Amino acid sequence: MTTDSSALPLRRRAVQAAMGKTPFDKLLKNANLLDMVTGEIRLVDIGLTGSMIASVHPCSDAFEAVETLDLAGAYLSPGLIDTHVHVESSHLSADRYAQIVVAQGTTTIYWDPHELANVLGVAGVRYAVESSRGLSLRVICAAPSSVPSTPGLETSGADFRGAEMQTMLDWPEVAGVAEMMDMHGVINGSERMLEILEAGLQSGKLIEGHARGLKGKTLQAYLAAGVGSDHELTSAEDALEKLRAGLNLQIRGSHPYLLPDIVAALNALPHLSSQITLCTDDVPPDFLMERGGMIALVNTLIDCGLRAEDVLRMASFNAALRLKRDDLGLIAAGRTADFFTFDSLQHIRPARVFVNGECVAKAGHMLREESAPPSAMQPPRATVHLNALQATDFQLRIPGIKNGKATLRHIKGARFTQWNETTVEVRDGIAQLPAGFSLIWVQHRHGKSPAKAQMALLEGWGELRGAIATTYSHDSHNLVVLGRNPADMVRAANHLIACGGGMALAQNAELLASVEMPIAGMLSDLPASELAAQFKNLRELSAQIADWEPPYRVFKAIEGTCLACNAGPHLTDLGLTDGGTRQIINPLVAAWEIE
């Protein structure tokens, strides 16, 4: 009796094809393979059986195949693996995100959906899992540990402890604990962090780090707790200390100004460790489409002086090792057939992208439209639980003083903040903004606590000529407004309340531009091209309001200005916080009446 080989289990079929007993499903001939184990580039043929690589063999070996494709000497690399990304920063749904990055050569991502989790709780993580099924992009999820990122200093839409972590880690789609942003809690053994760490350690899965600013004893203590990686690099010296400590170093693309010094430091080492991987962390939609995600980082590192072969190994084989995925990251028999072709080692431009043995993209374009899978879960909307505001809500009032002066603590700087003090005039109980200052205003939007607005003076942004508002503000994603004129601030804020969230600019009490993000207040319904155009327009028009160049940094700073886990002062829905001391600080130093 003859057995149909197509009915045999996949791995058995691959064995028979590798032995020449049955044809390969596909035979890719004359590929210049980048061998991630030996460092060689060698001309080979590759036989595929279904989604699996069945054989990598000399071109002189004769095999039969149902389909043969001559690659004519094109280079072949494993698909890129992004070891740490928040898809939410693209403001796209998972299917539309996949449509872009797969065509750029990224075939696997490790998604930390902690932005969704901070708004929606465990249901947000479940939405991330369900919305990424059936895509060409392989999505591995992490269980967010930072909900909120700094307990006691901010209020998000949920509160994760050990029970929530255990629930998520029990899901097969979740590969580990996402970045441990509460560094203070990890090092000092807070009850919450001990519960989360215990759940992670008991699961045997990954525990990801967020070791911003840690060094010496604090860095060693952070590792001793069980953390295994870090992407929060601040300098070349910082990168080397973390690599020497034993962390998996995740070089990220969201801070490109650091990369030349980091590359120079790595090139000075005796060898490049397998502990170095790559990640994007956060990429806005216009940059994702125009410059790329992982592929942009790969080419930037090559331009900075790393060999293409080394960069691609970091982005594939090293990443698979970190994620404990023996089926990925290497073009070898028995591995999943995820790879891409390209023509030059000086600048990587994927020509063909294969996922599970199928060519899914050519010349930067997908061959089929990605679509969201059928799911009982609907995109979460109506998450901005606030009523319309008044212009008077954006006046900084000084209690107990009608006309006089007040000395206030305030935030100095944007991305790296410092404490400072200034004395302001008080008229009719309202602080008058000095020249060069603006206001930052934050209000809880999740309906979990009384929505009392918080305000503080902001120095180092200049005198904003309008207002910038967002509901996408790391990591609690409350409503944040920056400006000087209450009429501008209320116009931008009320637009976001009405549309369900997003980003908005207002000037002269009129809406200047907006990007509506009604899904969880952070994701858009628009196709990627339309969203990118709107986001780019918003970015460019922001130059009419703020003089800080480049405009990209304005948006990065706005999104991170409430990130209370970082050192320095940050305003949250609970008040003016100190990330170093973990205290809420009264901004009022002194106040006095003047006759």
Q: Tens-of-pLDDT digits for all 595 residues of the chain?
A: 344 556 679 999 999 999 999 999 999 999 999 999 999 999 999 999 999 999 999 999 999 999 999 999 999 999 999 999 999 999 999 999 999 999 999 999 999 999 999 999 999 999 999 999 999 999 999 999 999 988 899 999 999 999 999 999 999 999 999 999 999 999 999 999 999 999 999 999 999 999 998 999 999 999 999 999 999 999 999 999 999 999 999 999 988 999 999 999 999 999 999 999 999 999 999 999 999 999 999 999 999 999 999 999 999 999 999 999 999 999 999 999 999 999 999 999 999 999 999 999 999 999 999 887 776 578 899 999 999 999 999 999 999 999 999 999 999 987 778 999 999 999 999 999 999 999 999 999 999 877 789 999 999 887 899 999 999 998 899 999 999 999 999 999 999 999 999 999 999 999 999 999 999 999 999 999 999 999 999 988 998 998 876 555 556 777 878 888 888 899 999 999 998 888 999 999 999 999 7
3-state secondary structure string across 492-503: HHHHHHHHCCEE
What 3-state DSSP class applies to 112? coil
Predicted local confidence at residue 3, as pLDDT: 45
Dump the DSSP string for 151-180. Answer: BTTB--S----HHHHHHHHTSTTEEEEEEE
In 3-state terms, what secondary structure has residue 507?
strand
Q: Are the C-beta atoms of residues 91 and 524 closer than 8 Å to each other? A: yes
Strands 583-585 and 575-578 turn out to be antiparallel
How far apart are the C-alpha atoms of 440 and 561, rounded to whole Å?
Answer: 9
174-180/138-143 β-pairing: parallel
Token pair 């009405």 is found at: 498
Report the largest interatomic distance among the alpha carbons of the chain, rounded to a whole angstrom: 107
Residue whose structure tokens are 């205003």: 441
Q: Quick check: 78 and 329 in contact, CB under 8 A?
A: yes
Q: Is 515 helix (H, G, I), strand (E, B) or coil?
A: strand
Say if residue 148 is preceded by a cis peptide, omega within 30 of 0.
yes
Q: Provide the pLDDT for residue 342.
A: 98
Which of 591, 562, 588, 584 is closest to 152 using CA atoms? 584
Cα separation, 264 vs 305, in Å, equals 8
Helix-strand-coil percent breakdown of the chain, rounded to 5? 30, 30, 40
Q: Which of 284, 188, 344, 345 is nearest to 539 (CA)?
A: 284
* pTM of the complete model beyond 0.85: yes
DSSP summary character for residue 88: G
Q: How far apart are CA 432 and CA 200, in angstroms?
A: 50
pLDDT at 1: 34
